Structure 1
Amino acid sequence: MITTDQLRTLTGLDVHDRDGDRIGTVGRIRQDDAGRPAWAGVRTGLFGRTESLVPLEGAHLDDDRLVVPFARAVVKEAPAVDTPPDEPLTPHDVRRLCDHYGLLWFGAENVRILRPRLPGRRSIG
């Protein structure tokens, strides 16, 4: 789990998937609509021009790299979002990202809690 103190050190770190394969580098940290850091932008592709969002839920630091609990291909195929980087993600964007990563999404008055989806369960909005 990423702590609040560690958030300041994430930008520019290498991002690795659950199998140890390098995905890219950490770009911007995106907040949920309650202002909590919830997503990391992962710069991929030539010169890091493409950025995929990955949830910080379940991620951890391993020395000088961020390790996410997803396969490289899953991160690279994440849906693009239209929300400007300095604004919280829209509920629509969060729903699409949670569906992509197989996360449950509980919504209640600007509070979003991400939990790993349990087998046999559907997303709740």
Structure 2
Amino acid sequence: MTTFDVNAILSSTAYGSDGDKIGKVEQVFLDDNSGEPTFLTVNTGLFGAKENFVPVKGASQDGDRVVLPYTKDVVKDAPKVDADQHLSPAEEEELYRYYELNYEGGRTAGTDRDRNAAAAGTAGAAGTAATGRDRDVAADRERTAADQDRRVAAGEDASVVRHEERLNVGTEEREAGHARLRKYVVTDHETVDVPVEREEVTVERTPLNGTEARVDNGVIGEEEVDVTLHEERPVVEKEAVAVEEVGLNKQTVQETQRVEADVQKEQVDVETDADRDLPRH
């Protein structure tokens, strides 16, 4: 991790040891003596509201991903350290102790921007790098004031740079629930009317006048004739047939949610020596 591209890492996204996304890498803190990276700060809150320090030791870089040897919960619960200033030995020791690493005392760490400011003979807190947002407002004001004094002494026009905060609103994906398909059996009672037929016996009598051919030989006696009757009855059979296929489809529904936050901006007032009731030199 000591040989990674600082500019590339500042536009990377940090992931935990379990593969979960933690947040965007905001700053890289370098050792004052060796110049090697010692800490990263990772944005773990909404709208950039919270940065947490993570030791570089054990981390790896994979393109635009930084894989940390800690889970997201561990990083989010790290001790709160002001990310806008130079780290003190006590703060470093507290962070090393939290992450269960051996602390080599006597060294402090600052961002690469902080190191450049020290080389130029100015003192300031650590600022952001390659993020487009100036987090080191106090240091900027100090440098601006010194530059204005130089311009006034040289007879040049004086100016100030006015800053204001803007809301950078984004979204994050989270698990909202589960949908399951469960098949179960219910019993319905059905009634069906089925038409059926059956045979019935009717008695038909035909009078004879005595001249018809005799089929009984004129013998009087008992006789029995058997007739077979038929009828239909309903027969019920059941079979299982496929009637419908039910599936689940995911779709993305877009809606608008309102977020509110307080932002600060700078205003510029002009003040002369007469306003301050001070003698002019």
Q: Shared topology, TM-score over 0.5?
A: yes
**Preserved contact between residue 44 and residue 76 of structure 1 (Cα < 8 Å):** yes
Distance change (3 Å), C-alpha of 1:17 and 1:83: closer
Q: State the Cα distance separating 1:111 from its structure 2 match.
A: 7.7
Q: Percent identity?
A: 38
Name the residue aligned to 1:102: 100
**Preserved contact between residue 38 and residue 57 of structure 1 (Cα < 8 Å):** yes
Identify the structure with bigger relative contact order (alpha carbons < 8 Å, sequence gap 6+).
Answer: 1
What is the RMSD of the two structures over their aligned residues, measured on CA atoms?
2.0
**After superposition, what is the alpha-carbon deviation per residue over 1:2-53, rounded to whole angstroms, capped at 9, x for unaligned?**
414x222111211000111000000011123434321111011111210001
Structure 1 CA distance for aligned equivalents of residues 20 and 60 of structure 2: 15
Q: How does 1:31-110 map to 2 (within 5 A)?
A: 31-34=30-33, 35-82=35-82, 84-85=84-85, 87=86, 89-107=87-105, 109-110=106-107
Structure 1 CA distance for aligned equivalents of residues 72 and 82 of structure 2: 22
**Preserved contact between residue 89 and residue 108 of structure 2 (Cα < 8 Å):** no
Q: State the Cα distance separating 1:98 from its structure 2 match.
A: 0.4
**Preserved contact between residue 28 and residue 41 of structure 1 (Cα < 8 Å):** yes
Alignment of 1:29 onto 2:25 = no
Structure 2 CA distance for aligned equivalents of residues 91 and 78 of structure 1: 16
Bigger-Rg structure (1/2): 2
Q: Which one-letter code corresponds to 1:15 in the other structure?
A: A
Structure 1 CA distance for aligned equivalents of residues 61 and 6 of structure 2: 10
Q: State the Cα distance separating 1:62 from its structure 2 match.
A: 1.9
Q: Equivalent residue of 2:104, what SS?
A: strand
Structure 2 CA distance for aligned equivalents of residues 80 and 55 of structure 1: 14
Q: Which one-letter code corresponds to 2:6 in the other structure?
A: L
**Preserved contact between residue 24 and residue 43 of structure 1 (Cα < 8 Å):** yes
Q: Which one-letter code corresponds to 2:30 in the other structure?
A: Q
Higher strand residue share: 1
**Preserved contact between residue 88 and residue 108 of structure 2 (Cα < 8 Å):** no
Moved more, 7-16 or 96-105: 7-16
Structure 2 CA distance for aligned equivalents of residues 25 and 72 of structure 1: 12
Structure 2 CA distance for aligned equivalents of residues 21 and 63 of structure 1: 17
Structure 1 CA distance for aligned equivalents of residues 83 and 47 of structure 2: 22
Q: Equivalent residue of 1:26, what SS?
A: strand
User: How many residues are paired up?
Assistant: 108
